[in-house]
């Protein structure tokens, strides 16, 4: 495997499980020194150990992206330990479920504090260091940022926002040497289907997402890291995700017709 990120310092938020964990391992295989952050220290330490076993330096770092002070502290610690930052993958996020008329304002606030404000804080405090090294920042959105779905309006709204942030940031960074890659996955195996509206993980829950449409996380990590390496501006996957994104972009009337007649809707446990 090509060592595309040989000696580069990579920071991944939400790096303890799912896509974040697999991206950490993929960056490590390609020679990158990896910092994974999140709220669960033990799983972060385990991922860091797995990365170190691949011959790179790694660190697990507790960081809550909803706290700007926590993000600032994490950035400072990474720079102090590794000398700088070359790649940031803003991956931390979860999904709030429920019909718009039923959700409390606090549900919306909690959703946006992680998926949007946390992502903005991650970008804002890491960009000065990325500019020093003409690095790369990647924002993990979702195909949900292209197409609406009843019962998950808060989550979809947050991912529409992430898509807009990525588009604007890509323009603002033009000429700086720093690239912004917005990544929009379709269904990928992860813990998101086992996390409640308060962001709490329930390992006993069954993931209700369609099993046959889901990619394995290692496959997703490979294409994501490729897109970041190539400095792609926007990258959508899986196959079904590309179809859904295209429908949302070009045929919103058709999407509305189908969804209003399908009886679909999300029900939170």
pLDDT of residue 197: 75
> Any bridge partners for residue 140, and if so which?
183
Which ranges in the chain belong to alpha helices (H)?
18-29, 41-52, 68-82, 105-112, 118-132, 153-172, 217-229, 239-250, 252-261
Evaluate if residue 264 carries a pLDDT over 90: no
Residues 148-153 have a mean pLDDT of: 95
Boundaries of every domain in the chain: 9-261
Name the 3-class secondary structure at 215.
strand
Amino acid 262: pLDDT = 81
What the block records as the tokens of 67 is 């706290």
CATH architecture observed for domain 9-261: 3-Layer(aba) Sandwich (3.40)
What confidence tens digit (pLDDT) does each residue in 26-66 have?
Answer: 999 999 999 999 999 999 999 999 999 999 999 999 999 99
DSSP string, 47-69: HHHHHHTTTS-EEEEE--TT-HH
Alpha carbon separation from 49 to 21, 42, 63 (Å, rounded): 12, 11, 18
* Residues 167 and 265 sit within 8 Å (Cβ to Cβ): no
Q: Output the pTM of the full model.
A: 0.92
156-215 pLDDT, tens digit per residue, is 999 999 999 999 999 999 999 999 999 999 999 876 666 667 767 666 556 666 778 889
């Amino acid at each position: 495997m090509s060592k595309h990120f040989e000696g580069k310092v990579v920071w991944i938020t939400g790096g303890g499980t799912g896509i974040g964990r697999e991206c950490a391992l993929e960056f490590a295989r390609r020679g990158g020194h990896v910092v994974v952050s999140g709220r669960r220290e033990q799983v972060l330490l385990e991922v860091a150990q797995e990365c170190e076993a691949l011959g790179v330096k790694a660190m697990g770092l507790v960081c809550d992206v909803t706290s700007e002070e926590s993000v600032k502290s994490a950035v400072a610690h990474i720079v102090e330990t590794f000398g700088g930052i070359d790649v940031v993958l803003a991956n931390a996020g979860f999904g709030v479920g429920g019909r718009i008329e039923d959700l409390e304002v606090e549900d919306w606030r909690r959703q946006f504090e992680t998926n949007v404000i946390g992502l903005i804080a991650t970008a804002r405090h890491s960009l000065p260091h990325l500019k020093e090294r003409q690095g790369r920042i990647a924002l993990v959105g979702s195909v949900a940022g292209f197409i609406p779905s009843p019962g998950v309006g808060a989550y979809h709204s947050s991912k529409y926002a992430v898509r807009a942030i990525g588009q604007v940031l890509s323009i603002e960074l033009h000429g700086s040497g720093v690239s912004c890659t917005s990544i929009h996955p379709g269904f990928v195996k992860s813990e998101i289907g086992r996390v409640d509206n308060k962001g709490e993980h329930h390992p006993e829950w069954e993931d209700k997402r369609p099993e046959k449409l889901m990619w394995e996380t290692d496959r997703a990590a490979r294409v994501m890291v490729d897109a970041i390496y190539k400095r792609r501006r926007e990258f959508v996957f899986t196959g079904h995700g590309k179809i859904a994104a295209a429908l949302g972009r070009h045929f919103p009337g058709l999407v509305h017709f189908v969804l209003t007649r399908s009886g679909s809707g999300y029900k939170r446990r």
